[in-house]
Amino acid sequence: MYDTIIIGGGPAGLTAGLYTSRARLKSLLIEKGFPGGQVMTTEWVENYPGFDEGVSGAELSRKMEKQATRFGLEITQGSVIDISIDDNIKKITLEDNNEYETKTIILATGSNPRLLKIEGEDTYRGRGVSYCATCDGAFFKDEQLAVIGGGDSAVEEGLFLTRFAETVYIIHRRDRLRATKILQERAFANPKIKLVWDSVPEKIAGDDSGVQSLHIKNVKTGEQSRLDIRGVFIYAGYNPNTGFLKGLVSLNENNYIITGENMSTSTPGIFAAGDVREKSLKQIATAVGDGATAGVAAEKYIEENF
Ligand SMILES: Cc1cc2nc3c(=O)[nH]c(=O)nc-3n(C[C@H](O)[C@H](O)[C@H](O)COP(=O)(O)OP(=O)(O)OC[C@H]3O[C@@H](n4cnc5c(N)ncnc54)[C@H](O)[C@@H]3O)c2cc1C
């Protein structure tokens, strides 16, 4: 029987594990891929405090894992497919049929950007293809960039990118934006933003130094054209990893977990941290804050209920 089981080994889960194991709770972290989560797939991180020159995603992941396991956090590889509750004891089932029992659970399964699934997207991921302007915008000073999408995130991030870039093309499949009016007004008024209507991306091309161009097609005329750009920011939405919860905790309309201030979910003894929960900023700095809060809340819950 564990005191706490953390599902997901990104920054939120590893920080939760650091706090719970340091508080001497018997803690297990279950990760289906590699500890580090999305950070592991990030080339370079410049906005996480404590690393004045920046740090590679792989190095930051390694350090977080090492720090958490130093205090006794156990980590196992596996994919959680089911959770059930009997008399306040939670049972977790993995894909390989292994089962674990625990007093508390911290859900830290993150979310994944929806991919465009076009040629070049995988090849140039981290070398010009990005899903996060806050993370990568500063790498593109005075460059030509493209943003794919027409919703709030696309326009907001496009506006943010104009701080660095010379030109930001917003490529949208329709002839009007879905974003809120105020964002639209700002985009139309910004001389660095060029809207490309009725168009979809077809291919991202480049060379050893990264992305060089984006091939697009006008969906009304069928006309194909090429934009010479150095970065493509994709805002096709995110999928939170909450499918395996099957109604266990309350989710919002976009399937993110709704939490209280101490990261509690609608189910007592189950907490959520990081990108998987409904919140305004999804970054490493906020994920680790959530993880710390959830870890301490789990400790308090055990004191009061077991
Ligand atoms: C390309 C890219 C670049 C980024 N760059 C930056 C940056 O420079 N700075 C910054 O602050 N933020 C950056 N971010 C955002 C940052 O990576 C995330 O905000 C952060 O990783 C969220 O942490 P998390 O622990 O909540 O989730 P994640 O990092 O997504 O980790 C969740 C983990 O849960 C695991 N998991 C999911 N489902 C299950 C399951 N059923 N069973 C077991 N394990 C499961 C996943 O395998 C994953 O490892 C970037 C994101 C991307 C995609």
Beta bridge partners, 193, equal 168
| 191 and 294 assigned to the same domain | no
Instruction: Answer yes or no: 136 catalytic.
Output: yes
Distance CA 97, CA 92 (A): 10
Atom from ligand 1 closest to the CA of residue 33: 47
Q: What is the CATH number of the domain that holds 286?
A: 3.50.50.60
- The residue to which tokens 């009997």 are assigned: 86
Does one domain contain both 39 and 175? Answer: no
Quote the domain boundaries for residue 221.
129-234
Final residue before a domain boundary, out of 184, 209, 234: 234
Q: How far is the CA of 239 from the centre of ligand 1 (A)?
A: 12
Q: Does residue 10's CB lie within 6 angstroms of at least one atom of ligand 1?
A: yes
Last residue of a domain, one of 202, 234, 266: 234
Per-residue pLDDT of the chain (306 residues; tens, 9 = 90+): 999 999 999 999 999 999 999 999 999 999 999 999 999 878 788 899 999 999 999 999 999 999 999 999 999 999 999 999 999 999 999 999 999 999 999 999 999 889 999 999 999 998 999 998 888 999 999 999 999 999 888 998 899 999 999 999 999 999 999 888 999 999 999 999 999 999 999 999 999 999 999 999 999 999 999 999 999 999 988 899 999 999 999 999 999 999 999 999 999 999 999 999 999 999 999 999 999 999 999 999 999 999
Boundary of a domain, candidates 199, 234, 269: 234
Q: Is residue 69 part of a domain?
A: yes
Distance CA 201, CA 224 (A): 10
Same domain, 104 and 252: yes
Number of independent structural domains in the chain: 2
pTM: 0.85
Mapped onto helix, strand or coil, the DSSP state of residue 272 is strand
Would you say residue 270 lies in a domain?
Answer: yes
Q: Are residues 98 and 243 in the same domain?
A: yes
CA distances from 225 to 156, 199, 206, 231, 305 (A): 25, 10, 16, 17, 63
For ligand 1, whether the C-beta of 71 sits within 6 Å is no
285 lines ligand 1 (CB under 6 A): yes
